[in-house]
Amino acid sequence: MSLSISFTVNGQSRAMDLDDPRVMLLDLLRERLDLPGSKKGCDRGQCGACTVLVDGRRINSCLALAASLDGAEIITIEGLADGPELHPVQAAFIAHDAFQCGYCTPGQIMSAVGLISEGQAGDDPERIRELMSGNICRCGAYQGITEAVQDAQKILAERHRRNAA
């Protein structure tokens, strides 16, 4: 028995049939929608490599049943940039050398975007590290990641102020 679902992925409406209602969002994104940016790390929700935004909330896509997301808005790393213009968090990660091997980078960036949009980051590096603790970097690029979050947060706040004026 097939289950029909529809959602928006990176601004594009998608409708599909799921032959298995147990398929996880991560597998659907990578295998059926050809969006390999979200990485399969631990497959248990402990590393954060699979982080995406669902309805503006950061989630571990390896733990989310695709069938439970009918009607949701999903943003992956592939949908973050605006054409050739990088999202400020992406640009800040490059500027602060916030990655080494790059495997965890998409999940780190998506978590940082969610963290900033939630308005929780503040300016305290320890708080940022704590709120990003669900994303593991085995290379140890945490200092650059923290600096990138701080920098991107300032850029986004300034952009928001200009747009509000």
Q: Over the stretch 117-156, which tens digit does the pLDDT of each residue have?
A: 988 778 899 999 999 999 998 888 999 999 999 999 999 9
Q: Are 62 and 122 contained in the same domain?
A: no
pLDDT in tens, 81-110: 999 999 999 999 999 999 888 899 999 999
User: How far apart are alpha carbons 55 and 81 in whole angstroms?
Assistant: 18
Domains: count for the chain: 2
Is 50 in the same domain as 118?
no
Choosing from 55, 79, 103, the residue where a domain stops is: 79
**pLDDT of the residue at 88:** 96
Query: 58 with 23, same domain?
Result: yes
pLDDT at 75 over 90: yes
What are the strands of the beta sheet with 73-75, ordered from one edge? Answer: 12-18, 3-9, 73-75, 51-54, 57-60
Q: Are residues 119 and 148 in the same domain?
A: yes
**Residue ending a domain, choose from 53, 79, 105:** 79
CATH of the domain at 108: 1.10.150.120
Domain closes at, from 16, 44, 79: 79
Which has more confidence, 165 or 76? Answer: 76
pTM: 0.93
Q: Residue 111 is encoded by which pair of tokens?
A: 């978590």
- Strands 3-9 and 73-75, sheet pairing: parallel
The H or E element that residue 109 is part of is helix 105-118
Share of the chain above pLDDT 70, in %: 100
pLDDT band at residue 160 under the 50/70/90 scheme: confident
Please write the tens of the pLDDT for every residue from 11-66. 999 999 999 999 999 999 999 999 999 999 999 999 999 999 999 999 999 999 99
Residues 94 and 160 in one domain: yes
Examine the domain organization and report whether 94 and 32 are in the same domain.
no
pLDDT value of residue 123: 83
Mean confidence (pLDDT) of the chain: 94
CATH code of the domain containing 53: 3.10.20.30
Is residue 92 domain-shared with residue 67, that is, in the same domain? no
Say yes or no: 56 and 9 in one domain. Answer: yes
Residues of the domain holding 122: 88-164
